[in-house]
């Protein structure tokens, strides 16, 4: 029964709680046992506190016994990336430079919303230091490995949550994404990850990476991502960039299908080299959307690679976050993070403004593109997972991570919603992800299309080999 429980989605758990066939304590114990059995292989969690977790589970179980469940998630265990403030646990962001006591007693907006809806906190998941790169390793926590092959990376920076969800060490989790950090581990780990429109999900304190950064859900299914969006989008006055609440029921809109939608399909954005297996999987996904009644056209959005401008904005944010850290603290940090931040600190105001100009032009370009096309379909990544504890694949022509994530970071610059959904496996058995991008604030349509695709071409019954061996 334990394997059956840890394979359940949040939606399935809520149904079983409601009919009394499962209890939050029973489910939480099963997931804690799964963490104990498998996490040594992947290092998804940097903090697990079973006593506190079970205390929250017992409170949820009591509410069900009293016929008074709380909100939309009562009793559902959730994995929380260690960049979100949790009042009972420290938030270290993968860094030795943070005083644990200084972070206690505070809740990030997403965590506060989860609390209002009765969640059960499973623990804090691993991240690279300050979430600065597309893989997950840090001097504090070490590397996080891929659940399909522990010799490969889980991706990052939300790699801990990605690995946890894939292995049933939590049905859903929180991630952040300033250049692909939800979608990269979603693709590498074979799960679903949604980067919402910027401002749709309140986020506080502000990310070091400013308006590039989005908080979003990660789950085994698109349906669970929509459920979590209904919670995460609740208003919070602390985020100055949050848009007024639109009160959209993302779950209710999932079943509208894709018939009649105009979908642009671009396997390479006109300039990206992708593996044959990735391209083949994406072409098959495009065929599935056509079979569902969408009009699918192969066309590029025709923008040049904004890698340089993204680097100025992203690494400039890292430099700003570290501006008050002296030499002693920098010695404790990831030396590559220190290196990129120190280089970015030498950029001029004109460099920054030039990057903002390119960002504005890209926003305008994509806004015009979506006047013609409802959605853009691309690979999430041009490659599958490479060796763990590396920033880039072996023999890669560059030393920095954004060079292998060319499909993700452009849409952090535009603030558009982007969803990664599993669409296949390479010959080595590693997952491949497709990305659905929508017009800004059209998150409901993006999730709706992802849901339609996942129902038509489900891979949800295929878990990592490690999961089956448990």
Catalytically active residues are: 81, 157, 181
C-alpha pair distances (Å), 50 with each of 70, 123, 147: 22, 8, 22
- Residue 304 tokens read as 């040049």
**Contacts with 392 (C-beta within 8 Å, 6 or more apart), sequence order:** 386, 398, 399, 400, 401, 403, 404
* Separation of alpha carbons 25 and 256, rounded Å: 35
What DSSP line would sit under 192-253, residue for residue?
A: EEEEPPTTTS--SSPPTTGGG-EEEEEESSHHHHHHHHHHHTS--TT-TTPPPP----TTTT
**Contacts with 42 (C-beta within 8 Å, 6 or more apart), sequence order:** 144, 145, 146, 147, 150, 154, 163, 167, 466
For residues 258-271, one letter each, b for 16 or more C-beta atoms within 10 angstroms of the residue's C-beta and e for the rest, the string is: beebebbbbbbbee
- Residue 267 tokens read as 């396997």
Using only C-alpha atoms, what is the Rg of the chain? 21
What DSSP line would sit under 443-466, residue for residue?
A: HHHHHHHHHHHHHHS--TT---HH
* Separation of alpha carbons 122 and 168, rounded Å: 12
Q: State the residue for tokens 């120190």.
A: 342
> For residues 445 and 258, is the Cβ–Cβ distance under 8 A?
no
Count the Cβ atoms, other than its own, within 10 Å of residue 33: 16
Strands 262-265 and 295-298: what pairing? Answer: parallel
DSSP alpha helix (H) spans, 380-470: 410-414, 443-456, 465-469
């Amino acid at each position: 029964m334990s394997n059956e429980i840890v394979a359940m989605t949040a939606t399935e758990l809520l149904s079983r709680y409601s009919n009394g066939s499962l209890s939050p304590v029973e489910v939480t114990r099963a997931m804690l046992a799964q963490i104990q059995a498998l996490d040594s292989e992947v290092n998804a969690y940097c903090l697990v506190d079973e006593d506190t977790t079970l205390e929250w589970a017992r409170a949820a179980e009591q509410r069900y016994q009293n016929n008074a469940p709380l909100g939309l998630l009562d009793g559902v265990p959730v994995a929380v990336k260690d960049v979100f403030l949790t009042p009972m646990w420290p938030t270290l962001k993968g860094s030795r430079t943070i005083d644990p006591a200084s972070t206690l007693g505070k809740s990030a907006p997403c965590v506060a919303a989860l609390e209002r809806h009765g969640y059960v906190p499973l623990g804090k998941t691993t991240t690279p230091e300050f979430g600065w790169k597309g893989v997950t390793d840090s001097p504090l926590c070490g590397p996080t490995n891929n659940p399909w092959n522990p010799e490969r990376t889980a991706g990052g920076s939300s790699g801990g949550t990605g690995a946890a969800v894939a292995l049933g060490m939590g049905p859903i989790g929180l991630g952040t994404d300033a250049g692909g950090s939800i979608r990269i581990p979603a693709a590498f780990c074979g799960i679903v990850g949604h980067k919402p429109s910027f401002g749709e999900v309140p986020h506080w304190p502000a990310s070091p990476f400013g308006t590039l950064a989005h908080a979003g859900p990660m789950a085994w299914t698109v349906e669970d991502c929509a459920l979590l969006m209904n919670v995460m989008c609740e208003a919070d006055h602390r985020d100055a960039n949050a848009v007024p609440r639109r009160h959209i029921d993302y779950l209710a809109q999932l079943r509208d299908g894709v018939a009649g939608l105009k979908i642009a399909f671009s396997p390479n954005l006109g300039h990206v080299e992708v593996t044959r297996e990735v391209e083949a999987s994406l072409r098959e996904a495009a065929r599935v959307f056509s079979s569902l009644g969408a009009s699918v056209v192969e066309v590029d959005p025709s923008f040049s690679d904004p890698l340089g401008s993204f680097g100025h904005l992203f690494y400039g944010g890292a430099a700003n976050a570290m501006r008050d850290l002296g030499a002693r603290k920098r010695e404790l940090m990831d030396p590559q993070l220190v290196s990129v931040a120190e280089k970015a600190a030498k950029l001029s105001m004109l460099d920054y403004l030039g990057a903002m100009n390119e960002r504005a032009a890209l926003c305008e370009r994509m806004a015009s593109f979506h006047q013609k096309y409802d959605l853009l379909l691309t690979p999430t990544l041009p490659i599958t997972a490479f060796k763990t504890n590396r920033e880039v694949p072996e023999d890669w022509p560059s030393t920095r991570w954004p060079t292998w994530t060319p499909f993700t970071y452009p849409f952090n610059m535009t603030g558009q919603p982007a969803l990664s959904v599993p669409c296949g496996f390479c010959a080595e058995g590693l997952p491949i992800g497709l990305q659905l991008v929508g017009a800004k604030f059209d998150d409901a349509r993006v999730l709706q299309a992802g849901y339609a695709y996942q129902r038509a071409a489900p891979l949800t019954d295929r878990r990592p080999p490690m999961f089956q061996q448990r």
